[in-house]
Each structure stands twice: as C-alpha cells, then as structure tokens.
Amino acid sequence: MVYDLIVIGGGPAGYLGAERAGQAGLKTLLIEERFLGGVCLNEGCIPSKALLHSAKICDYAKFGEKYGVTAKDVVLDHGMVIARKNKVVKTLVAGIKSQLKASHVEVVEGRAYIVDRSHDGYTVKVNNESFVGKRLLIATGSVPIMPPIPGIEKGLEKGYVLTNREILDIPQVPDSLVIVGGGIIGLEMASYFNSAGSKVTIIEMLDHIGGSIDREISQILLKNYQKKGIEFKLNSKVVEIHDGAVVYECDGKREAVEADKVLMSVGRRPTVEGIGLESIGVEIERGAIKTDDKGKTNRPEVYAAGDVNGRYMLAHTAYREAEVCVNNMLGKKDIVRYHAIPSVIYTNPEVAFVGETEETAREKGIDFEVAKVSMRYSGRYVAENEGGDGICKVLIDRKYRNIIGVHMIGNYSSEIIYGAGLMIEAEMRIKDIKELVFPHPTVSEVIRECIFQFED
Amino acid sequence: MATPVIMPRQGQTVESCVITKWYKKKGDTVKVGDLLFSYETDKAAFDEEAKAEGTLLEIFFDEGDDVPVLATVCVIGEEGEDISEFMPGGKKVPTTQGGVVEGEQQSGADNEKKEKIKGGTVTQEDGRIKISPRARNLAEKVGVDYREATPTGPNGRIIERDIRQLIEDDKLVTPAAREAYLKAEEVHISGTGIGGRVTTADVERMKEDKSREMVQPRIQERVAEAEYEEVKLSNIRKVIARTMHQSLANTAQLTIHTSFDATEILAFRNKVKEQGGRLGLENITLNDIILYVVSRTLLNHKVLNAHFLEDKMLIFKHVHLGVAVDTERGLMVPTIYNADGKSLNQISREVKELVEACRKGSINPDYLKGGTFTVTNLGTLGVEAFTPILNPPQTGILGVNTIVQRVKEVDGKIVTYPAMGLSLTFDHRAVDGAPAARFLQELKTNLENFDIFLAK
Ligand SMILES: Cc1cc2nc3c(=O)[nH]c(=O)nc-3n(C[C@H](O)[C@H](O)[C@H](O)COP(=O)(O)OP(=O)(O)OC[C@H]3O[C@@H](n4cnc5c(N)ncnc54)[C@H](O)[C@@H]3O)c2cc1C
C-alpha cells in the first residue's frame, strides 16, 4: 500500500502536520522513534512551563508581603513539582494520541530511514519494515549543540553535565547550577532553579543575554535577575568542565565557578543526519534542510517543517510551517510569513516580542520610528507588580506608518503579544490601531499608549 | 388565491432595486416570516419576508436583476393555481403541463452556486467609476480595490455584492499598502499577506519589477473578463499539434521506465572533457553517449527500429536516429542517418550541427524525416520520468531523464550512485512488452559497462 503522506518525527511539526493531512483525507503515516509530542511536550516548552509556574507561585508566596500577604514556611517541593509536570505531560501526550487517531493517522514507533525514491513514491524503512509514501514531511526536530569543550563527554556520562532532557527530570535541586548559555532556554531554567533555591550562575559568551531580543529589554531582564541573586559572567567563554567546577575565560583570564551540575544550553541543531536525506538528495544548507516559504525542499513532494529547517526553532513556528506544508500538498497556496512570528521568554517577569528590533530594522535599512513607554502606564500593571520596571517598545515604518515590531517586558506580555503579531501581519497603520478598543484595565493598554506617541 | 410579492418602494427617489440573493426556490413551501430574498438600493440593503404562506409558485426575477419598484417579484399560493395574471412582460412562464419544460426552466435560486452572475466591465462616468456608496464604504473598510470589481448592478454599477465577491476571491490589500497600491494603477499583484492580502512588501516588489511578470495568475480564473493575448498558431505548432494528437489517437502506446548507474558514462565524459581537445574530440555529452549506445543496441531489437504500417512493418537494416530538439519555434526532430555506422565523435558533431541548424531555422527539410527511432531528452530540464509520444510510423521512442542519487547495498553497506532514468514508449500493436523491456535491459547493461561496450 502506498501512503499519501509519510511524516517523520512526532513533535509539534510532525503530529500537527499528520493531523491536518489526515483530516483532509490524505492517507497518512506518522513515524516517531521516542515519544509523541517531541521535544516540546516531553522535554521542552510544556515541562519547562509547568516548572516555571510552580516557581511563580512560590515567588508570589515568598514575596507576598509587598501586597500585604505574609506566608510562612514557604517551600518548593521539587519532587512534587516534577511529579506534577509528568502528569501534565502525560495528559497532553494522551491528547495527541487520541487526536491522531481521530484524524485517522497511523502511527508507527521506531526510527525512520529514507531509502530511495521509486515511481510509486518514497520508501522509508522502520525496524526493517518498508513503507512507501507519495510525499514526505520531514519533522525530525533538533538536538542540543554540544561544543567540543574538554570534560563535557565525561560529564554527560557521569551525570554532572545535563541537557534540557535531563534537567527537566532532575530529582533534586542542585546546590549550585552553572548554565552555559544565556539564551531563552538557559534563562528559563535559571529562573526556575533560582526560585527553587539553587545558586545559579550563567556563563555567556556575548555581552548581553537573551540572544536577539531588544537590547534595552535584555538589560532590564539582566538587572531583575541579578536582583534575585542570579550571577552572570558575560563576555566569558567556557573552556573546561570538571566534576564540581566550570572553567571559563574572560578578558584573557581563566577563572572558575563552583558547580554541582552544569546545564549546557548553547543552542540546538537540526536533526539532519542518519535519516537518509542523502539517498534522495535533499539539499542541506548550514546544517539545516533548505526549504522555501511553502516548506518545500529541493526534491519533489518532500517537505520539511519545524526545527529541522533551522529557521525559527519554536513550537508555534513548527505548527504553522506544518500547516503550510499540508496546505501546499493539497494544492492550496499558503506561505509562512516569518516576519510576524512572536517569541516569548516565560521568566518572571515575562518577555515577549514580535517583528523587527531596532538592530534588525537598522540592518535591513528600514526607515523607522520608535515609541517607548513604561509598563507603569497600565493601571493593572501597577496594581499587580509592586516595584516593577517593565517597558513596551513599538517600532513603526516611517513611510507606510504601519507597525513593524513590538517588544515587551512585564507579566502577561506572553498573552498579549499575539495581538501585536496580528497588527504586524495585517500591516495595520498607526491610525487603524488608534481606532481599536483595548479592555481596561489590562496590561495590553501599554501598546495603545505607545501607539498614541506617534503621529498618524 | 395566489398572492403576489412586489418589490417595495424604498423612498421616493428609488426607481428600482437589485435582488442580491434568493433564499427560496420555486416549489418551496413558505411560511409567514420566512426570508424570501435580499435586495439593495444604491444606499441600503434589505430583506423581504413572506407575508403569506403556501408554495412559491413562480419567481420572475433572478439574482442580479434590477427590479422596478412595485413590480411583482414572485407569487405565493397553492399548487396548481393560475398565476398568469401576475406575469410581468418579457418573462416567459411555462404552463403547468409537462415536466420537461418545468425542468428546463430554473429559477435564479436554483442556479445560485453553479453560476456566477455575469457582470459587465467597470463603466466610468466622466472618469469616475460607478459604485454605490454602500459598496464604496465596504470596499474602503475591508481594503479591496473596487476597480477590480465586476459590476452587476444596474447600468454597470458596482454594488455591495460585487465587493463581497472580491473579498471572497481574496482580492484584499492591507491598510498600510493600500495607498501605494492604488497609486500603482491597474497592475495586478499577488499578495503574500494574511489571506492573500497585498502587503507593503508586495507593492515594493512590484515597483522594482515593473516588467509585468508579476501579473497575478489568479486573475486568469476569471476568464470572462481576464486580460489575454490572442496568439495565432504558427504552422510548426499546428503540425506538432496534429502529429502529436494523431500519434496518441491512432497507436497503442505505453511507456516503461528504468534507470541505470551512470557512474561510468559520467567518468567517461569527464575524461573527454579533460583530454578530448588533445585528440580532436568534440565536447561529448551524456546525450551523445546515449545516442551512440542506442544506435548500436537497436540492431539487436529490430522491431523497435521499424515503421508500423497497419498491414505490414518495415524493419530497417540501419538506424536512422531521430533526435528531438527544442527550438524557439517548437519541437523539431532531425535525423542522424546511419547512426549505427558513425563513431561517437561523429555522432556528437553531427547532433550539434543539426541542433544548430534547427535553432537557426536553416535545417534542410530532408533531415526532418526518415527517422526509424527517436531519442528525446528532458533530463537536462530536471525531469525524472515522462511518457514520450511516438513519432509514427516509428514503433519506439526513448526518453532520457535526469540523474538522481539513489542508494544501493554494496558489501552490506549503503552507498549512493547516480541513477539516470530511461523511459521507453513503444507501439504495442508492433511490439510486446517483454521484447521492449529486453531492449531497455540491454541498453542499461551497455550504458553501465560503457568502456567495454566501446571496445566492441
Ligand atoms: C527546554 C526547551 C524549552 C522550550 N520552550 C519553548 C517554548 O516555550 N515555546 C516554543 O515555542 N518553543 C520552545 N522550545 C522549542 C520547541 O520545543 C521546538 O521548537 C519544537 O519542539 C520543534 O518541533 P519539531 O516538531 O520541529 O521537533 P521536535 O519537537 O524536536 O520533534 C522531533 C521528533 O522527531 C523524532 N525523530 C527524529 N528523528 C527521527 C527518525 N529518524 N525517525 C523517527 N522519529 C524521529 C524525535 O524523536 C522527536 O520526537 C523549547 C525547547 C526546549 C529544548
């Protein structure tokens, strides 16, 4: 039997793509070697958010005096947090299983290897069984990058070096945790383990944290964290890892910090090896599958979505890319518009952003204007965030007067940002947004406040 | 007694209204208060409800019709009732005898989905487009270019439903892009924004690319009013059309495909490239090599080097090889006479001369006939498999495909190799499947062992 579509990988890109294809009537097979739900559900977005929520509750309780609430003996029971996280993951994975079933998707467990292409389609081998599909959706995701630092391999073996996979299942809170890499994942983990009682140090090679986020927001986040007691070693490069210590170089000097555990989070790389891409000649560019904005690769009827294309390694991008792939398979023209994909850092305070930053806009030669207001313009923010120092920043295109970027730091921004994404994607102008009604009192009103700083 | 439903008068100045939608069709049962139809004036839209109950006996106006106020639009009554007194002039209503006539006469509501209401082209009065204020408002609100509407209102006026049609056809422009888009006048661009909206980036791209290559493909769907260029067929196109069609209509064609490992011929070609000059060799291409091998191999499979003439076959002693050539004016097939007696270098040189002559239009017509077998190569255009069409009365034609990377097992290891596809179409009246396959098999062996073959 020949499938209309074989999906390789059961993460967000894979399972959603398979569901959509199945619902549209394509005879679909999904192959997953580990767990349905992929990184996102099992060792990424969801487990980390479950942990962070517990940390937030703990923080609220501990620092409740500011709001006139005193709680005594506040403890975070890490074991229970992990147990709850596992329950959350189990519930969601079960949901995906039943959703796939309802969409008539067949699921095979095992590692997929693409063998070749015949006139019938593409042959994929799993556990010595062959399957043929007219089309392929490659959604094999990504794995953590492990730079060749002396001591890493031994550390992984012995368990004092961890990746996101192990740390989200760690049974005990380490006394001291060194996080290598100050990107989104590193910061989220720092936030949790700081609240849970670890002495956390982040070592980052760049002079700022948060990767490509707005510089000013990066600064605010850094200060917030330092206040909480997280230590940062910026402009610092890790050169050696030992059981108990991490050695790094800063300004040409070698220094060391104590570490019970070391989390490696210097980025992720697409899973493009060992899946037989070479047998059908799929083009790889800078370690990722090369796709166009329809999700097509250079091979006919071979699509790729999610982290494996190396573009925006985010679950919601994976969802959208998978949908676009399936739409195009069904002959429906659809593209991913990458300029309006929001990103969130679910730390406390939350950071959310979408579109151009001042840096990227400048690089692209866009003529833009910026407006910036303090989160304190929002009544709700002031009422709920004692001493908070968040900001919201909006960028507009000077010529067309439409909104091209929004950057926020302050709680709730994760839930607000999609609205900003919509404004960007719909190319709403300042004067259009001025006509919108924002509920009061909400934190989202800061966007409106920013907008009124601009002339039409 | 039957009750007529009349077009209400909406205001003193309104002379007529346009029916925009029928909710009932002839023969439907209606109750008091049921929605019958919607209609609109220049300024407003209304719904007409039934004020009597019974069967909808007759409908006198279709969707899109401009109905004078107080004219009878339809009649409600009991089945079999005489309604002739309500019939307006101009519209023939069948008498109740004979289902045949009944069946032919369909009300507008019946046709609702099947046929779009035909409209005229946009009419301009003193340089202004005729559009109802309602339609204009809607167009401005949602962001469609009403110049693209097909007016279906009275006297070529654009009315609300024409704008709704544009919305349905995804002819939308984002607010930010609208002004620049409208200034760009009449250039149709395809949008890459949400729901196909034209964005600022699309407008920018269009400005850069004035070469009109951007003409929106979707516009072609509206064939009736789409722009097109009428091109008279050239004689060569007419001849190609006739022969191709006759070929398919009068023979029993089928195509079989295979592929061969092109490692050896690729290596050979490289050798010639590097050292051929020294020996006075042409720049021998892969296609030349295939022509050479085909001309030899055919001698062992003479039914494929033949003409099929209904009651007899001409089996040729020598191979006169037709070579399909793509020229600006169309497909041409010059012949290499006695190819089986020519060296690879001679074939290579002769092909180049023939191709050149075809492209220049200086080919001697004698060279365009007399072929006994044809080779056509779409591999250079990346085609992986196709079904060539026979050049009757020839009995075979070989299609050459592109090279793809395949894997095979050598000593238990998976290795890749360049596989080149071959597609053989033959006339099953003259040749059976197995002999045709044997030819292909021998061809494959010869090509894979080209060095040895050359020595023969
Ligand atoms: C700690 C952490 C936190 C994160 N938080 C967020 C967040 O808050 N928000 C967000 O948007 N994103 C977040 N991400 C990123 C998000 O997890 C990824 O972008 C998302 O999982 C990508 O989905 P995917 O389908 O492309 O790949 P994956 O989720 O990586 O899934 C790929 C799947 O393919 C399987 N596979 C691979 N090779 C084969 C094979 N040959 N045969 C069969 N199966 C195979 C793998 O087992 C895996 O299950 C986070 C990531 C991490 C690590």
Contact A427 B257 (CB under 8 A): no
- A427 and B197 in contact by Cβ < 8 A? yes
Chain A residue at shortest CA distance from B178:
A400
The dihedrals phi and psi of A256, each to the nearest 5 degrees, come to -140, 145
Q: Is residue A286 within 8 Å of A19, Cβ to Cβ?
A: no
Non-local (6+) Cβ contacts of A294 within 8 A are A324, A325, A328, A334, A335
CA-to-CA distance for A116 and A280, rounded, in angstroms?
6
Identify the pLDDT of residue B187: 59
Measure CB to CB from residue B176 to each of A116, A337, A402 and give the nearest one.
A402
- By the CB < 8 Å criterion, does A425 face chain B? yes
Put simply, whether A281 touches B (Cβ < 8 Å) is yes
Q: Which of B177, B194, B405 sits opposite A279 (nearest CB)?
A: B405
What 3-state DSSP class applies to B435? Answer: helix
* Chain A neighbors of B199, CB-CB under 8 A: 427
More confident: A124 or B12: A124
**pLDDT for residue B223:** 44
Of all helices (H) and strands (E), which one includes residue B177?
helix B175-183
Which residue, judged by its Cα, is nearest atom 45 of ligand 1? A9
Chain A interface, mutation test: which of B200, B205, B254, B258, most A Cβ atoms within 10 Å?
A: B200
Characterize A319-341 residue by residue with b for buried, 16 or more Cβ atoms within 10 angstroms of its Cβ, and e for exposed.
Answer: bbbbbbbbbbbeeeebebbebbb
pTM of the model: 0.65
DSSP code at position B198 = B
Cβ atoms < 10 Å from Cβ of A363? 10
Residue of B173, B416, B417, B420 to mutate, testing the A interface (most A Cβ within 10 Å of its Cβ)? B416
Q: How confident is the model at residue A285, as a pLDDT?
A: 94
Q: How many Cβ atoms are within 10 Å of A284's Cβ, its own excluded?
A: 16
In the annotation, is A440 catalytic?
Answer: yes
Contact B175 A428 (CB under 8 A): yes
Q: Which residues of chain A does B193 touch, with a Cβ-Cβ cutoff of 8 Å? A: 337, 425-427
Amino acid occupying residue A396: I
Contact by Cβ (8 Å): A5, A22: no
pLDDT-derived band of residue B104, with 50, 70 and 90 as boundaries? very low
| Contact: A278, B405; criterion CB under 8 Å | yes
Q: What percent of chain B has pLDDT over 70?
A: 85
> Ligand 1 — pocket residues by CB below 6 A?
A 8-14, 31-34, 38-40, 44-45, 48, 111-112, 139-142, 164, 185, 271, 275, 306-308, 313-316, 318, 346
Residue of A140, A184, A192, A325 to mutate, ligand 1, most atoms within 8 A of C-beta: A140
| A286, burial (CB in 10 Å: exposed 0-12, middle 13-18, buried 19+) | exposed
- Rounded to whole angstroms, the Cα distance separating A46 from A284 reads 30
Residues 121-160 on A with a CB inside 8 Å of B are: none
How far off is chain B from A149, nearest CA to CA, in Å? Answer: 33
**Cα–Cα distance for residue pair A150/B228, rounded to 1 Å:** 68
Atom of ligand 1 nearest to the CA of A143: 30
- Find the mean pLDDT for residues B142-158: 81
Q: What confidence tens digit (pLDDT) does each residue in B376-392 have?
A: 999 989 899 999 999 98
Contact A427 B384 (CB under 8 A): no
Overall average pLDDT of the B302-315 stretch: 90
Interchain contact B174–A (C-beta under 8 A)? yes
B192 interaction partners in chain A (CB closer than 8 Å) = 335, 337
- Which amino acid would we find at residue A274? G
> Predicted confidence band at B185 (pLDDT cuts at 50, 70, 90)?
low
Q: Which residue has the higher pLDDT, B11 or B105?
A: B11
Chain B within 8 Å of A384 (Cβ-Cβ)? Answer: no
B178 contacts chain A (CB < 8 A): no
Which of A20, A39, A189, A279 is the best mutation target for the ligand 1 pocket, counting ligand atoms within 8 Å of the beta carbon and taking the most? A39
- Of chain A residues 64-93, which have a CB less than 8 A from chain B? none
Q: What residues contact B189, with CB distance under 8 A and at least 6 apart?
A: B181, B198, B202, B203, B205, B206, B214, B216
Q: Please give the angle made by the CA atoms of A314, A318 and A323, to the nearest 5 degrees.
A: 155
Q: Which two tokens stand for residue A449?
A: 């406040």
pLDDT reading at B93 higher than 70: no
Q: d(Cα B441, Cα B456) in Å, to the nearest integer?
A: 18
**pLDDT tens digits, one per residue of B265-298:** 999 999 888 888 778 787 899 999 999 999 999 9
Find the A310 Cα to ligand 1 centroid distance in Å. Answer: 12
Query: What does the pLDDT read at residue B322?
Result: 96
Report the chain A residue with the minimal C-alpha distance to residue B141. A432
pLDDT by 10s per residue, chain A, length 456: 899 999 999 999 999 999 999 999 999 999 999 999 999 999 999 999 999 999 999 999 999 999 999 999 999 999 999 999 999 999 999 999 999 999 999 999 999 999 999 888 999 999 999 999 999 999 999 999 999 999 999 999 999 999 999 999 999 999 999 999 999 999 999 999 999 999 999 999 999 999 999 999 999 999 999 999 999 999 999 999 999 999 999 999 999 999 999 999 999 999 999 999 999 999 999 999 999 999 999 999 999 999 999 999 999 999 999 999 999 999 888 999 999 999 999 988 999 999 999 999 999 999 999 999 999 999 999 999 998 899 999 999 999 999 999 999 999 999 999 999 999 999 999 999 999 999 999 999 999 999 999 998
Give the span between the Cα atoms of A54 and A192, in whole angstroms. 8
Does residue A155 come out as left (phi exceeding 0), alpha (psi in the -120 to 50 range) or beta?
Answer: alpha
- Residue B41 touches partner A, C-beta closer than 8 Å: no
Which segments of B251-343 does DSSP mark as H helices, in order? Answer: 263-275, 286-297
- How high is the ipTM of this complex? 0.77
- Please give the pLDDT value at position B312: 87
**The pLDDT value given to residue B365:** 78
Burial of residue B358 (number of CB atoms within 10 Å: 0-12, 13-18, 19+): buried
Q: How confident is the model at residue B188 (pLDDT cuts 50, 70, 90)?
A: low
Q: How far from A116 is each of A138, B185, B407, CA to CA, in Å?
A: 14, 50, 7
Q: Which residues in chain A are contacts of B405 at CB distance < 8 A?
A: 278-281
Q: Which among A117, A119, A280 is the nearest to B257, CB-wise?
A: A119
Report the nearest-CA residue for atom 9 of ligand 1: A45
Report the C-alpha gap between A359 and A212 in whole angstroms: 9
